[in-house]
Structure 1
Amino acid sequence: MTTGRDHAAHKAKRTDARLNRERLTAAAHQVFTELGPEASLNEIARRAGVGPGTLYRHFPNRQALLTAVLRDRIQALCEYAEKLRATDSADSALAQWLGAFLAHARDNHGMGSALMVNEPGETDLDCHQLISNAAAGLLTRAQHHGTARYDLTADDLVRLVTGIALSTAREEDAEPAHRLLALVLDAAYAAPRQSR
């Protein structure tokens, strides 16, 4: 028979475990951004204020931690897409989200690449599908209520922005990436050329 004291102690342990996980994920966000996906897990534990054993209790390996961090970042990007879908201008919403996606892709390309070397089934995170779904919602709205061309697909946009991110990833100055994105947006809102 459990007592109120046992229940309170169990609840406190669960709260501590949740807080430790949140601290570890936040520290991993920082460390992976600064040092890349091969950064020291001990450094992540140190910055989170926990021991390495606590890190491994929550994340048994590097892939699990990378997946958790990338999942958080993609979830934030998808939530941003939902928020933008409620704004007045469908064209502006699409442009703003593509800018956010470009920043995400430039900041996180190493993490995504690190996860791609997993064996099939090691991670349940389908980054491409989540991003594609977010882009599709905004693009469809811009096609119906804005000026986005109808022959454009969400996959086209995701590939174009990913290409910009990969080709400018080593450049600290984000201006060339933003210039290329502006060219993509110009094409996205232009009428398709007639074939001759």
Structure 2
Amino acid sequence: MRADAQRNRDRLLDAAVRAFSQDGPEVTLDAIAKDAGVGIGTLYRHFPTREALIEAAYRSELARLCDSVGELLAAQPPDAALRTWMDRFVDYMATKRGMSDALRVVIASGVNPYAQSRDRLTAAIAALLEAGVEAGTIRPDARAGDVLLGLGGVTMAAGERDQAGRLLDLLLDGLRYRAG
């Protein structure tokens, strides 16, 4: 894909995430194209249907979260990288909840946008945990699936962002307990 076409696609996905999270599935595709600074024809060239755009927007958010692991580990100690990633997970879940009505439209069309989500999230967490175990900052018996379940619980239980942060701190403290 040409660089300008990739930029247009990325802007469309960002605009779609915002629109579907705030306005739900009934937001017009014209409004999304306008917010992205492109014409409706450009939107349809990249995403021929509303469902294709919704699915791509969701998958883009998932990829952004999962693909950030390497960058975080390069910039921070493993336990700090894990905590930063946990914050990003909470943001991802908030976006996913905001897009839930739009995602139901995709599911109704016969597509499962979540098909790869658990595997990708578990792999991202496993990489963070492995780095922490190697550094001696994360306990060696921590399992990625358990951490994912805990993160999901935090996002469901927390009433506000500050509370989620405190719960994430507790979860990380548990992962550090008896490390090294």
Shorter-chain TM-score: which interval? Answer: 0.7 to 0.9
Cα distance, 1:36–1:176 mapped onto 2, change above 3 Å? farther
Match of 1:146 among 123, 132, 136: 136
- Residue 89 of structure 2 corresponds to 101
The structure whose Rg is larger is 1
Match of 2:165 in 1: 178
- Could you tell me which runs of 5 or more consecutive residues in structure 2 were left unpaired when the two chains were aligned: none
Structure-1-length-normalised TM-score? 0.72
- Pairwise CA distance, 1:90: 1.9
Quote the offset at 1:24 in angstroms: 2.2
C-alpha offsets along residues 31-74 of structure 1, whole Å, 9 cap, x if unaligned?
12332455333321332344545433422323211222222222
CA RMSD of aligned residues (A): 3.1
Task: Figure out how many residues of one structure are paired with residues of the other and give that number.
Answer: 177
Q: Does 1:129 align with 2:116?
A: no
**Is the 2:17–2:99 contact (alpha carbons within 8 Å) kept by the matching residues of 1?**
no
Gaps of 5+ in 1: 1-10
2 CA distance for matches of 1:118 and 1:149? 42
Distance change (3 Å), C-alpha of 1:29 and 1:124: closer
Q: By how many angstroms is 1:187 displaced?
A: 1.6
* Larger deviation, residues 38-47 vs 182-191: 38-47
Q: Contact 1:45/1:51 (CA < 8 Å) preserved in 2?
A: yes
Q: Return the alpha-carbon distance in structure 1 between the equivalents of residues 98 and 62 of structure 2.
A: 14
The TM-score with structure 2 as length reference comes to 0.78
Give the letter for the 1:185 counterpart: L
Once the two structures are TM-superposed, the CA of residue 154 in structure 1 deviates from its matched residue by 0.7
Matched-pair contact (CA < 8 Å) for 2:51–2:109: no
How far residue 88 of structure 1 moved from its aligned partner, in angstroms, is: 5.5
Structure 2 residue corresponding to 1:55, chosen from 43, 46, 57: 43
* 2:165 partner letter: H
Determine helix, strand or coil for the equivalent of 1:104: helix
Greater shift, 108-117 or 182-191, is seen at: 108-117
Query: Which gives a bigger RCO, structure 1 or 2 (Cα 8 Å, sep 6+)?
Result: 2
